[in-house]
């Protein structure tokens, strides 16, 4: 298999894996402070920041998006995005079936009700997160690709960090607010039994998630360059340059 095709398969596999992980772990909320500083120190309400566990994996999908955009172009990113969405949609009935079946208790030979409740609590919200996340993600990805391409043209292919961070900052703002309000406010209001947040609580989580994603996106900029250099080394400078030129319709 040509190295450029193999690279695309590898990027697709990691992108889909991280995206699926976001949907499965997103129902868990965790709190933290920034070196002892809480929301109140920044003029917000609350003693500690609250975020969804999905933010631990989500920033990595945007690094992969930028890499795919750089070497394969906007069409490849769109195809990859909709493939990841299709995988998550296909997993919804599988996860719901796993919640529905009774857990076996080896000690009694009966049903392990505690395990049933834990499974439902951990994964029961996943379908709402998938619906909200996929709606927001599809919009955010298209925005990310458009902004990335515009910045690439504006900078004439220079300053990888600027187009990567600029596109991420804008797309993540849209994604963060859309997914939290859809998954934890709008859908729970329509479907009883799901965990619901207040409008104010959701706003605090949105702000926290966005700050976290932005900070991580900036912090892992060296990783973006490392991946970029690794690909150039693996493909070879000539092949890498040819891939970028073909992806963006640029003369060589």
Distance separating alpha carbons of residues 118 and 124, to the nearest angstrom: 9
The count of structural domains within the chain is 1
Which residues fall within 8 angstroms of residue 1, CB to CB, at 6 or more apart? none
113 part of a folded domain: no
What is the pLDDT at residue 252? 56
Residue 44, in any domain of the structure: yes
Which pLDDT value is given to residue 13?
93
Residues lower than pLDDT 50 in the chain: none
**Does residue 150 fall inside a structural domain?**
yes
| 47 domain-assigned | yes
Output the pLDDT for position 2: 83
For residue 127, being part of any structural domain is answered with no
Residue 225, domain extent: 3-91+137-176+197-247
172 part of a folded domain: yes
158 lies in some domain: yes
Q: According to the model, what pLDDT value does residue 206 have?
A: 83
pLDDT of residue 11: 92
Q: Is 131 a domain residue?
A: no
d(CA 59, CA 219): 10
Model confidence pTM above 0.85: no
């Amino acid at each position: 298999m040509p190295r450029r095709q193999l690279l695309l398969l590898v990027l697709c596999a990691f992108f889909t894996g991280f995206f699926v992980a976001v949907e499965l772990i997103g129902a868990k909320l965790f709190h933290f402070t920034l070196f002892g500083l809480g929301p109140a120190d920044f003029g917000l309400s609350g003693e500690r920041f609250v975020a969804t566990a999905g933010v631990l994996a989500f920033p990595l999908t945007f690094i992969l998006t930028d890499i795919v955009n750089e070497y394969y172009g906007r069409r490849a990113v769109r195809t990859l995005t909709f493939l990841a969405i299709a995988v998550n949609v296909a997993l919804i009935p599988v996860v719901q079936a796993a919640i529905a079946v009774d857990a076996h208790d080896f000690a009694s030979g009966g049903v392990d009700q505690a395990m049933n409740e834990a499974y439902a609590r951990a994964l029961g919200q996943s379908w709402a997160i998938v619906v909200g996340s996929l709606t927001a993600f599809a919009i955010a990805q298209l925005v990310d690709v458009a902004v990335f391409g515009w910045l690439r043209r504006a900078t004439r292919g220079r300053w990888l960090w600027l187009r990567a961070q600029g596109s991420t900052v804008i797309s993540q703002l849209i994604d963060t607010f859309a997914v939290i309000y859809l998954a934890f406010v709008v859908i729970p209001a329509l479907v009883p039994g799901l965990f619901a947040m207040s409008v104010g609580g959701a706003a605090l989580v949105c702000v926290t998630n966005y700050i976290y994603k932005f900070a991580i996106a900036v912090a892992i900029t060296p990783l973006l360059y490392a991946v970029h250099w690794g690909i150039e080394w693996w493909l070879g400078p000539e092949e890498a340059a040819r891939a970028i030129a073909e992806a963006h319709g640029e003369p060589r």
